[in-house]
Structure 1
Amino acid sequence: MIKTSADYPILIIEDSDDDFEATERALKRDGALINPIYRCDSGEDALDFLLQQGPYSDPLTAPRPSIILMDLNMPGLDGREVLARIKSDERLLDIPVVVLTTSNDSFDIKACYQAGANSYVAKPVEMDEFILAIKRLKEYWFGISILPKGKTDGR
């Protein structure tokens, strides 16, 4: 049984509208997921969200996520750098980060785990396989694993 709650916000860091929409649809597919989902479409935007700065200074509209799903290959500040910054910041390092990317490159995989990624998932190209991968990810992170509750203040 997947345990979900509004107390466990999800942050998806993804520059592709199509990939974000596919991920969101797959997460919500069976109707069991009621977690609020937030999106940042760049590394810079994600760090502003996580640190509640700039347009995200209101903690009610930018709550601390309980989990982050993040693409690696984004223009500007890419996912590798965002991951390194998250895992080097005392306020953020306990947030699980799942790298969700098209890269199967062994260098990327090793570098992400060394930087503190909690999981690395290669996005399948076929939609049915992608939906199955997200279903399994959801079963693990929201059914088996215990996530830290998100907060609206006191980062």
Structure 2
Amino acid sequence: MKSGKVLLVEDNPDEEELARIAFRRAGLDSDDVVVAHDGQEAVDYLFGSGAFSGRDVSQTPKVVFLDINMPKMNGLEVLKRIKSNEATALIPTVILTSSDELSDQISGYRFGANSYVRKALDFKEFIENIILMRHYWIDVNCTPTEKSSRP
């Protein structure tokens, strides 16, 4: 069974590659992970604009993993856009960042983040965290945007 798309919003190529490795180890096919390299690209993907015009926006990601510090549009601005639009407001959005700033945590939750996770500096711990998040957000969590498989 397809587990649904994950939108990873990450501008650092090294951290993107680590996340891709972690997602593969967590059982996600590379086709299930879409990467946006900055905040504007994430918004374009979600709303079918820019390079993604014509994309079927009814096919929303099952979860968005969102970095905060990015070019063009920071993650908190992206979060505000996601949560303020009826079409995307219910998509679980996890801030996945290296920021340990209390102000970022407070802003993240105020703007509607479903979770705030600091990127582990240790590779093994990072992989374990991604596996846990993948399991929770893809396998366990139920969102009202999903079609029920129940009769």
1:15-34 alignment, distance < 5 Å: 15-30=11-26, 32-34=27-29
Instruction: Tell me, yes or no, if structure 1 residue 73 matches structure 2 residue 64.
Output: no
TM-score by length of 2: 0.87
1:1-155 alignment, distance < 5 Å: 5=2, 8-30=4-26, 32-34=27-29, 36-59=32-55, 63-147=59-143, 148-149=145-146
Q: Is the 8 A contact 1:13 1:40 kept in 2?
A: yes
Report the AA paired with residue 134 of structure 2. K
TM-score by length of 1: 0.85
**Moved segments of 4+, more than 3 Å:** 60-63, 147-150
Percent of residue pairs identical: 34
Which segments of 5 or more consecutive residues in structure 2 lack a partner in the other structure? none
Matched residues in 2 for 1:143 and 1:76: separation? 32
Secondary structure of residue in 2 paired with 1:95: coil
Equivalent position of 1:153 in the other structure:
none
Could you give the per-residue CA deviations for residues 86-119 of structure 1, whole angstroms, max 9, x where no partner exists? 1111111011101000011111111101100001
| Aligned length in residues | 145
Which segments of 5 or more consecutive residues in structure 1 lack a partner in the other structure? 151-155
Secondary structure of residue in 2 paired with 1:26: helix
